[in-house]
Amino acid sequence: MGQIKVIKGDITKVKADAIVNAANTTLMGGGGVDGAIHRAAGPALYGACEKFHGCPTGEARITGGFNLPAKFIIHTPGPVWHGGNSNEDQLLANSYHNSLTLADQHLCETVAFPSISTGVYAFPLERAAEIAIKTIKKFLLTAQIVNEVTMVCFDEKTFAAYQQQIY
């Protein structure tokens, strides 16, 4: 079974085979981590994302890493929190699972995730961390290639929530 690490930092600076972008459904860049990844990767990322014509919530698409230290960027729109009765938990689990599946298919051994949906999408942090870690652990049991998943947390509160879930 692979390992899960939790670090505090900037996902655009992480050296991994793939980093995951908490994208919106247009894949055309936005605020938060999405905007930071688009800025750091450079303008070619926009063109690469354009050809997908968007991506439904919970699914994932892959592009090259362009100016990032990562070889690939996996884009997944997480769910917007609507109180918990709109299938948000399953959609969030799908974002992690489908991202990892794409990473495995593209021979990525190392994958770095941000905390999906916990920023402007307002998914409750502790609940999101629990779903993320549970989904990653389950995936790693049968992963072919992926053997190291790093949760890259932007702030102390997020870092603490994910740390709590891996022990």
Give CA–CA dist 2/25, Å, rounded: 30
Task: Note if 34 is an active site residue.
Answer: yes
Instruction: Report domain extents, the chain.
Output: 3-166
Task: Band the pLDDT of 167: cuts 50, 70, 90.
Answer: confident
Tokens of 71: 């070889």
Place of tokens 């916990």: 118
Secondary-structure class of domain 3-166 per CATH: alpha beta
Summarize pLDDT for 124-160 with one digit per residue, the tens.
999 999 999 999 999 999 999 999 999 999 999 999 9
Out of 34, 89, 104, 155, pick the active-site residue. Answer: 34
Residue pair 147/109 in contact (Cβ under 8 Å)? The answer is yes
Per residue in 104-117, pLDDT (tens digit) is 999 999 999 999 99
Which helix (H) or strand (E) covers residue 33, if one does?
helix 32-41
Query: What integer pLDDT is reported at residue 1 of this predicted model?
Result: 72
- Render pLDDT for 22-78 as a digit per residue (tens, 0 to 9): 999 999 999 899 999 999 999 999 999 999 999 999 999 999 999 999 999 999 999
Q: What is the pTM of this model?
A: 0.97
CA dist., res. 37 & res. 101, Å (int): 21
pLDDT of residue 150: 98
Residue 125 three-state SS: helix
